[in-house]
Structure 1
């Protein structure tokens, strides 16, 4: 048979032909127009201007399956999870179906599913009208968090800290498609890994430096890997396993869970997804363990199961940080830093005028550092970020 792949990345970013070495089947690709010709070896390639927003994708997939059947749909991105699940159900294809995809994508369904399984979650309510938001605030007090049910990168997420802030929010924002939840005090962590046939086969815990909402205060966000055997890290991984046991079973998937560790030592779910995390966690895990999460799971979904690393044997620990743009024109930024344990990647454009960050991972430069312990990595991240910011020039 064949495999259908949804893709918006160039070959330079993701070489799917290399990823699928050993697959003795055709690969069909639905891709963004700008990258579709990067893979001339695929016998079926359909271009779309904006893949995630083009409703013809589903229609064309059903037509293609009738003409040239395929047995798997590979859809790695958050925006494609529900679409792919719906198509699998329609075509009788193995893999994550619509109901499972919804439970990992829609935050209300997600939290209700987890809560029914005994997993601690924040008080929350799916909003249908402004009255729902006001009622929630009266019942639970401030601060409260308002976020899209199916948002990405913490975009359009707001923390409302008073009745006045709620009023300002309602002036210009609709509550349709939104979720309100009680604010949870605590430090944020995430757990990322691989699930095969419902079992967590690999997992790695990392600590946030700031949170995904830091951009609303014009701050960056980062992550620090916790060393194998770290007491809290082991608790976090156990929590993730308990969580995934009550969510719809995943046959071959990466996962990404975000949690709060509260001052009274509880672990509370923030969100969980059946996909690889955004940001640079994939890069950190690959450097520490030699495991590329998306490559691994793409192959696994096609039946190509590769050995997974022993998470107790990380060669070193890594951390990364997104340094957000300020308000003004970016005049200059460092190309290197004077630390042999740090690398930088320039993301910004010299001469461009920025208005501050608009999402959690927006940055003009990212730093990646290494060390032997989480504490050392966190200190080094601070040193690297300070150097970059001191040596970047902005013009108001």
Structure 2
């Protein structure tokens, strides 16, 4: 029996590893977070942990299991697992991404150090080790600046500092640990998602954000829409993503999610890249739009299995993520046959329940409701994304957490 160790920080419904590997002769050994354990409970080897992201028993257990089952590969699709999986591969001499590569895709300063002076423009940046560094950077580059953790995903902890008062407020708050400060870049944000297998880029496609990836700060939705090859930005973004992958120590098998701006004066500027699939509903959108499951194909590549992606056949589709509001969720829209849910919805995912208390948006990849929406053209899809967002808002009800109804 062959085995692969999987760091599974996703629900089974999203990543059914056993179903993907059925008939391959490879059994997944699952290490997961407590909240996802029930979904994997039918599998023979499942180990779940509270405080999954920071619990170091995850590493201890993964090492024991990898040795016990003589695993041939280690798979990890979540940002929190990128480095721990790379360290484990390196420790055991397994193929795949090792630590130096993982850090280059995880630590935003290491990442930009690799790209500085290369073919893709990057903003001015500096590792933020004290308030003096922030003050010096502002004196040199002026406002606005962006301060963000070096290794978080989904814009978590990112702050746009526009003036001295906002800088003072940031400096007065508790120290957030390893961060970077960089020059603010205005413009439309895009992302490029794809797959590397056998050291080659086997799939790549650019997308634009509707709203942007900081919309969750205002508890507002964010959406993703594929560009057509005729879009003026299409070739520029694909070329930039390939150039970034060539400059970084890119592993031979990986999904990737890169972000770029195109500024009002038409400069293409790098934001960041991750060696994983995109968050939110991006993987689901790619599956509907191109017939490719990036997570499944990435797993196959890691396990040395032949790909199944074939030739992508494109059909317009977009992704919508709606964050929670502040308060207790009292009502969700009715779903399924016979309801007024727009017919353009191809896939839906709800992560909360009625009666649950929320505290607004936390990060761009986390959402209360996620939808994949289709249409006849990209313009149709963009309009349908707006329509589904309005429908959800009109059919959702909240109450304050401290109202007479109590709290969840």
**Corresponding residue to 1:378 among 373, 382, 388:** 382
User: Within 5 Å, which residues of 2 pair with 1:74-85?
Assistant: 74-85=75-86
Distance 2:62 2:349 in 1: 37
Deviation at 1:307, TM superposition (A): 3.5
Of residues 84-93 and 274-283 in structure 1, the stretch that sits farther from structure 2 once superposed is 84-93
Query: 2:296 corresponds to which residue?
Result: 295
**1:372 to partner: Cα distance:** 2.9
Output the CA distance in 2 between the equivalents of 1:170 and 1:100.
Answer: 32
262-271 or 56-65, which deviates more: 56-65
Q: CA deviation at 1:13?
A: 4.0
2:187 aligned with 1:186: yes
User: Any conservation in 1 of the 2:198–2:301 contact (CA below 8 Å)?
Assistant: no
Shift of 1:16: 1.5
1:152 is displaced (CA, Å) by 2.1
Could you tell me whether the CA contact under 8 Å between 1:193 and 1:254 is conserved in 2?
Answer: yes
CA shift in 2, pair 1:310/1:37, >3 Å: closer
Q: CA 1:25–1:118 in structure 2 vs 1: closer, same or farther (change >3 Å)?
A: same
Q: Does 1:35 align with 2:34?
A: no
Q: Match of 2:7?
A: 6
Rounded to whole Å, the distance in 2 between the matches of 1:392 and 1:306 is: 41
1:245–1:341 distance in 2 versus 1, CA, 3 Å: same
Q: Is the 8 A contact 2:197 2:298 kept in 1?
A: no
Q: How far does the alpha carbon of each residue in 1:1-28 deviate from its partner, in whole angstroms, 9 at most, with x for none?
A: 5322222445444322211134324443
Secondary structure, aligned partner of 1:230: coil
Q: Which moved more, 1:353-362 or 1:230-239?
A: 353-362
| Equivalent residue number for residue 165 of structure 2 | 164
The residue number in structure 2 matching 1:200 is: 201
- Once residues 352 and 58 of structure 2 are traced to their aligned partners in structure 1, the CA distance between those partners, rounded to angstroms, is 32
Secondary structure at the aligned position of 1:52 is classed as coil
Q: Is the 8 A contact 2:221 2:389 kept in 1?
A: no
Corresponding position: 1:366 with 2:375:
no
TM-score using structure 2 length: 0.88
Q: Distance in 1 between matches of 2:226 and 2:257?
A: 14
Q: CA-atom RMSD, angstroms?
A: 2.4
Pair 1:65–1:339, CA change in 2 (3 A) = closer
Q: Which residues of 2 match residues 244-393 of structure 1 at below 5 A?
A: 244-311=245-312, 313-314=313-314, 316-335=315-334, 336-337=339-340, 339-342=342-345, 345-393=349-397
Which runs of 5 or more structure 2 residues have no equivalent in the other structure? 401-408
- CA separation of 1:40/1:202 partners in 2, compared to 1, >3 Å: closer, same or farther? same
- Residue 40 (structure 1) shift: 5.3
- SS of aligned partner of 1:118: coil
Q: Aligned in 2, Cα 1:352/1:50: closer, same or farther, shift over 3 Å?
A: closer
TM-score by length of 1: 0.91
Say if 2:17 and 2:28, in contact at 8 Å, map to a contact too: no
- Of 207-216 and 360-369, more deviation after overlay is shown by 360-369
Q: Distance in 2 between matches of 1:394 and 1:10?
A: 26
Deviation at 1:102, TM superposition (A): 0.3
Deviation at 1:377, TM superposition (A): 1.4
- Within the alignment, does 1:134 sit opposite 2:138 as a pair? no
> Contact 2:9 / 2:78 at 8 angstroms: preserved in 1?
no
Deviation at 1:210, TM superposition (A): 1.4
Aligned equivalents of 2:349 and 2:59: distance in 1?
A: 37
Does the 8 Å CA contact 1:197/1:250 hold for their aligned counterparts?
Answer: no
Aligned residues of 2:37 and 2:46 also touching (Cα < 8 A): no
2:52 matches 1:48? no
Note if 1:394 corresponds to 2:398: yes
Q: Which moved more, 1:248-257 or 1:116-125?
A: 116-125
- Where 1:286 maps in the other structure, the secondary structure is helix
Give the match's secondary structure for 1:375. Answer: helix
Shift of 1:340: 2.1
* Contact 1:31–1:47 (CA under 8 A) maintained in structure 2: yes
Say how many residue pairs are matched. Answer: 393
Separation (CA, whole Å) in 1 of partners of 2:107 and 2:375: 37
CA distance in 2, matches of 1:271, 1:121: 9
